[in-house]
Amino acid sequence: MAEPAERMRMMRARRQRQGLRDLRLVVPDARSEAVRNRIAAQVAKLDPDGERDALLWIEAVSEFDSDEPR
């Protein structure tokens, strides 16, 4: 069996032939207490009326797969 680095190169080459490319994302770690505290502080600063208006607008302009009227 090929070494891990060689298998990775082969996988990347296969994906590249398929028109795909690897993408690496770095996101905040929600397990971190510091991150959770920062998010909680940001949420506490949100204006409930503004958020409600934003959600209503998103619903109004969104397309739904359902045939049922809203």
Query: How do residues 19-52 score in pLDDT, each as one tens digit?
Result: 998 899 999 999 999 999 999 999 999 999 999 9
pTM score? 0.51
Residue with tokens 């049922």: 68
Query: What type of residue sits at position 30?
Result: A
DSSP string, 1-70: ---HHHHHHHHHHHHHHTT----------TT-HHHHHHHHHHHHTS-HHHHHHHHHHHHHH---S--S--
pLDDT band of residue 68 (cuts 50, 70, 90) is low
